[in-house]
């Protein structure tokens, strides 16, 4: 059983970092090197999907999600136009999964801490991928990036949801 489940939903609604829904444990999970996938919505109301690389949670509860600029042009365009954001963090070895939602996100250049975080987290994520049977070349390619291609989304999560598959999926953490 996952530690997230053991803690139960209620504790996720406990003390949060200032200004957000993130608890310290949730923040730790998001920064541990997980699969990061994203969604937004374009002008026509159609969904846009994206894939990310790393996440950093700032002390005031803001999230920074680092992604490849070249791989996610539609997502970046929609967010630049003020569309909403959803981000799901999943650990392949346990299927533990959490979704954060925010009414908007800012697109900023990757800062001095983002690239090292991307390296550390994609390394951890690669290990998890290999633990569940993916090859090293698969894991390294999936997690690969050029530092100059990194871009960062910053947002204050408004909601968090359990996404671990099963009957409980989709329930709010708060």
Partner 1 sequence: MSTIALDAIRGCLEGFVPAVMATCDAKGVPNVSMISQVHYVDPEHVALSYQFFNKTRQNILSTRAATISVIDPANMADYRLDLDYEETLTAGPIFESMRAKLAGIASHSGMEGVFLLRGADIMRVRAIAETPGPRIAPMTSTLSLLAAVRRSLAFMAAAQDLGNLFDRTLESLTNQFGIRHAMVLMFEESTGSLYTVGSTGYARSGVGSELAVGHGIIGVAARERVPIRIGHMSADYSYGAAIRDQAQQHGLADSTAKEIDYPGLAAPESQIAVPILTDSRLLGVLFAESPEPMRFCYEDEDALTIVADRLADLIGNVQQEDSGPAVLPESPPQAAPASRAPITIRHYAADDSVFLDHDYLIKGVAGAIFWKLARAHVGQGRVEFTNRELRLDPALRLPEHSENLEARLVLLQKRLSERSAIRIEKCGRGRFRFAVPCALTLEEVGSGA
Contacts with partner 1, residue ranges (CB under 8 A): 1-2, 5, 35, 37-41, 45-51, 68, 70-72, 74, 83-88, 90, 93-95, 97, 99, 101, 132-133, 137-138, 141-142, 144-145, 161, 163-170
Dist. CA 88–CA 108, nearest whole Å: 20
Kindly tell me which of 22 and 85 has the beta carbon lying closer to partner 1: 85
Q: How far is the CB of 60 from partner 1 (least distance, A)?
A: 24
Query: Parallel, antiparallel, or unpaired for β 96-102 and 159-162?
Result: antiparallel
At residue 111, the 3 state secondary structure works out as coil
Kindly tell me which of 44 and 112 has the beta carbon lying closer to partner 1: 44
Query: Parallel, antiparallel, or unpaired for β 150-155 and 106-109?
Result: antiparallel
Kindly tell me which of 18 and 132 has the beta carbon lying closer to partner 1: 132
Give me 83's structure tokens: 């569309």
């Amino acid at each position: 059983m996952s530690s997230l489940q053991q803690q139960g939903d209620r504790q996720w609604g406990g003390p949060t970092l200032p200004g957000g829904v993130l608890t310290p444990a949730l923040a730790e999970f998001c920064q541990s090197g997980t699969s990061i996938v994203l969604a937004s919505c374009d002008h026509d109301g159609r969904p846009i999907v994206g894939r990310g690389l790393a996440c950093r949670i700032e002390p005031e509860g803001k999230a920074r999600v680092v992604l490849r600029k070249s791989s996610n042009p539609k997502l970046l365009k929609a967010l630049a136009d003020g569309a909403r954001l959803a981000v799901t963090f999943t650990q392949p070895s346990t299927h533990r999964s959490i979704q954060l939602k925010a009414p908007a996100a800012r697109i900023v250049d990757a800062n001095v801490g983002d690239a090292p975080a991307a390296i550390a987290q994609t390394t951890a994520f690669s290990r998890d991928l290999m633990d569940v049977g993916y090859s090293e070349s698969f894991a390294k390619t999936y997690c690969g990036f050029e530092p100059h291609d990194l871009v960062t989304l910053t947002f204050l999560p408004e909601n968090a949801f359990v996404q671990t598959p099963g009957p409980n999926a989709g329930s709010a953490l708060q």
